[in-house]
Amino acid sequence: VERATSMKGVQPVLANILIESINNSTLKFTATDLDLTVVAKIDAQVKEEGKITLPAKKLSDIVSKVSEGLVEFKTDDEENKMNIKCKNAKFEILSIPAEQFPQVSEEENLETVEIDIKPFNKAVKQASFAAASYETNNILAGVVCKIENSVLEMASTDGNRLARVREKIENNVEIEQLVIPSKTLQEFSKMSSFIDEETVKISFEKSKLYLKTEKITLISRLMEGNYPKYNQLIPTESPKEAIVSVQQLISSLERVAIMVNEKTSNVKFMFTEDKLTLSADTPDSGASEDSFDIDYKGEDLLIAFNYKYVLDSLRNLETSEVKIGLNSALSATVLRPNNEEDYICLIMPLHIQN
Amino acid sequence: VERATSMKGVQPVLANILIESINNSTLKFTATDLDLTVVAKIDAQVKEEGKITLPAKKLSDIVSKVSEGLVEFKTDDEENKMNIKCKNAKFEILSIPAEQFPQVSEEENLETVEIDIKPFNKAVKQASFAAASYETNNILAGVVCKIENSVLEMASTDGNRLARVREKIENNVEIEQLVIPSKTLQEFSKMSSFIDEETVKISFEKSKLYLKTEKITLISRLMEGNYPKYNQLIPTESPKEAIVSVQQLISSLERVAIMVNEKTSNVKFMFTEDKLTLSADTPDSGASEDSFDIDYKGEDLLIAFNYKYVLDSLRNLETSEVKIGLNSALSATVLRPNNEEDYICLIMPLHIQN
């Protein structure tokens, strides 16, 4: 749960973890930055009921430095101090009373959709990187998530690029479009792959989302507002198509990027018959160029991209070849795994610099 | 040579590497931050003699991103541009004329002492960490180096701790006391272990040192002034002695340090019969304690150290047990590898806090 703590210090208690006994064999850990809340339960021998908050950083330092074995937590009601003991090592940490921790409401009686965690996390990885960076009121910082006809669809766009993934799922469930902060999805993905769980239960109310596995619960706000109709932005056909080795394109981009203008990240792509030539230049520093064989039969085309967007897409493809769908130097360009239709990235070109 | 470049930008040419042809099969690379100069020679096919300076960072980026194979450098005298080519990858970098690069004088007709590089680098590792951090005019930022009766001695002290190492060497050579900037020695040690060489040739004139191997030369200033008579500071006897597992002491220090006062780094060591108890505390945060078995028969002793100094020494010992020589809570404490007399670390205790 440490990842949900907030160190910004407006409320010192948000840097702490709330620890509560919920019965004589379970402890509940809660952390929140007010946008995202994470709850985890662990087995414990509870000798006496109680709750307290402790600094997350100190607690995780202790856990990483003590040797294997039982850790004993013991508190003295009057002093607001927690005594932690593991073999010969003893710690005394100042706590903040549980009453100062924000109220976390767990969901009740909400409809729940349960799906496999594997396609869910794969979709998160492939769709969430294209979202805008997080700002509370920007709906483009969210990732669209919906389930229809046994297909989970996730998509995001920051206006310059777009990623959309569709994953078949087994259950016959439906979710109308939700817009989930990308941070929530990425944190969930990290935590759930770490604890190795099978399914996730999704439930939501007006502006709140619950992602629940056997051991953890994430509670997040949902983004509100109208998300752009992104499916309309994806071209149905590309007049020109190139098949390119993903690894070769990544290496070549990294090479050429040595001389890229850091203000624009502009790399020029020159497609000619069965050949791709990349080039970049920065005034007062120099220029670079590289070329390699591809499969391309269309007309010659010169087009420029922010090379970082291209790298982001390539690194999420999970295939050895990418199919690049081109139209003109000003049209949205489509990248997708060769021989696969479920995943698509769209990148808007930059203006060619002279 | 990149490590000797200076990015501070007072003289832009110091961020560059001077590349010169010295005959038709050798190129010489030189970089300097004016305190330290590094020269390296490599094999090359020199088609036409010349010299130029190129930005070190760009050059090393290029080398790390191009594939194996010959790299071609070609320059156009008039334009101050270097063309670099490796297979299909081409780069054009703006250069600075070699004339703007500071003059580097190579040594001539100096007496040279040649010794094995292995004991030299071991001594650097074990002795240089205790030097004060680098300031041009602080002699304690230097490491003492001398050779007498086939023993190489290196030592450094920052006033709070001291490290002295003596290594037997095979050659019958002598060097009177030199004070070498610790940075020079550490850089030499890194570079020479990287290129795997056998011996180092040491020569010097009034305020200049030359460390030369087959492939590289380091030219450094020497520190001037009177270095403290450090051998007088080392106690000849310790009335109390403890034998402690290095690994256990490191783990225990790391554990207890979680609650250390970050301003003082003060950790208390309580030596009692066959037991060491470490403790730390920070006001407004908490306290920690840990203990483990050691071999100690002296009177009980409570003494405090900056735990970072203790960790630095322990990590350089290269043995599994440390012998700690104690006297009083105010006396310099001696750490040395158990059953070995060649290496010694001295740490001044801190005042015990109540």
Distance from CA of B165 to the nearest CA of A (A): 32
List own/partner pairs for A107-110 with CB under 8 A and 24 or more apart. A107/A203, A107/A205, A107/A208, A107/A210, A107/A219, A110/A203, A110/A204, A110/A205, A110/A210
Q: What is the mean pLDDT of residues A151-173?
A: 93
Q: Helices A56-65 and B246-256 sit at what angle, rounded to 10 degrees?
A: 170
Query: What is the pLDDT, as a whole number, of residue A69?
Result: 83
Q: Which of B90, B268, B274, B278 is most worth mutating to test chain A (most A CB atoms within 10 A of its CB)? A: B90
User: Which pLDDT score, from 0 to 100, does residue A354 have?
Assistant: 53
Interface test mutation site (partner A, options B54, B63, B64, B65, max chain A beta carbons within 10 A)? B65
Chain A, nearest residue to B57 by Cα? A258
- Which DSSP symbol is given to A98? G
Instruction: Report the candidate in B116, B139, B142 with the shortest Cα–Cα distance to residue B128.
Output: B142
Task: Write the DSSP assignment of B139-203 as a string of letters.
Answer: GGGEEEEEEETTEEEEEEE-SSEEEEEEEE-SS---EEEEEEEHHHHHHHHHHHHHHT-SEEEEE
Give the percent of chain A with pLDDT over 90.
80
Nearest partner of A220 among A202, A195, A193, A197, judged by Cα? A202
What's the rounded Cα separation, in Å, for the pair A338 and B300?
Answer: 74
Task: Give start and end residues of each alpha helix (H) in chain A.
Answer: 56-65, 117-128, 182-195, 246-256, 307-315
Test B94 with A284 for CB contact under 8 angstroms.
Answer: yes
Question: How many inter-chain contacts (A to B, CB under 8 Å) are there?
Answer: 86
Q: Which residues of B touch A292 (CB under 8 A)?
A: 88
Instruction: Supply the pTM of this predicted model.
Output: 0.89
From A65, A66, A92, residue closest to B286, measured CB to CB: A92
8 Å CB contact of B61 and A258: yes
Strand bridging mode A275-282 / A161-168: unpaired
Q: Is A310 helix (H, G, I), strand (E, B) or coil?
A: helix
Give the Cα-Cα-Cα angle A156, A161, A166 (nearest 5 degrees). Answer: 45
Report the complex ipTM: 0.85
CA B185 from centre of chain = 5
Nearest CA in chain A to B254: A65
The angle that helices A307-315 and A246-256 make with each other, rounded to 10 degrees, is 150
| Full DSSP string of A155-171 | EEE-SSEEEEEEEE-SS
pLDDT value of residue A223: 93
Distance from CA of B60 to the nearest CA of A (A): 10
Question: How far lies B179's CA from each of B107, B113, B220, B293, in Å?
Answer: 19, 16, 11, 41
Residues paired with residue B16 on neighbouring β-strands, in sequence order = B55
The reply to whether residue B258 touches residue A61, judged by beta carbons under 8 angstroms, is yes
H-only helix segments in chain B: 56-65, 117-128, 182-195, 246-256, 307-315
pLDDT digits (tens, 9 = 90+) for A204-220: 998 899 999 988 999 99
Return the pLDDT at B109: 82
Best of A90, A276, A284 to mutate (most B CBs within 10 Å, chain B): A90
Geometric angle at alpha carbon A285, from A282 and A287, rounded to 5°:
60
For residue B158, count other CB atoms closer than 10 A to its CB.
Answer: 17
Q: Which of A91, A292, A294 should we substitute to test contact with B (largest number of B Cβ atoms within 10 Å)? A: A91
Q: What's the number of CA atoms in the CB half-sphere (13 Å) around residue A209?
A: 28
Written as one letter, the residue type at B156 is: S
| Residues B81, A290: C-beta atoms closer than 8 Å | no
Q: Do A254 and B287 touch (CB under 8 A)?
A: no
Residue B21, phi then psi, degrees to nearest 5 = -85, 130
pLDDT of residue B196: 77
CA distance A162 to chain B (A): 29
Query: How would you write the pLDDT of chain B (354 residues) with one tens digit per residue?
Result: 999 998 876 789 999 999 999 999 999 999 999 889 999 999 999 999 999 999 999 999 999 998 788 899 998 766 788 999 999 999 999 999 999 999 987 767 888 999 999 999 999 999 999 999 877 779 999 999 999 999 999 999 999 999 999 999 987 889 999 999 999 999 999 988 777 788 999 999 988 999 999 889 999 999 999 999 999 999 988 999 999 999 999 999 999 999 999 999 999 999 999 999 999 999 889 999 999 999 999 999 999 999 999 999 999 998 999 999 999 999 999 999 998 889 999 999 998 865
**Cα–Cα distances in Å, from B259 out to A75, A86, B282?**
18, 15, 6
Q: What percent of chain A has pLDDT over 70?
A: 98
Select from A324, A325, A343, A314 the least CA-distant residue to A124. Answer: A343
Nearest to B71 by CA among B55, B79, B60: B60
Residues 58-117 of B with CB under 8 A from A: 58, 61-62, 65-67, 81, 88-94
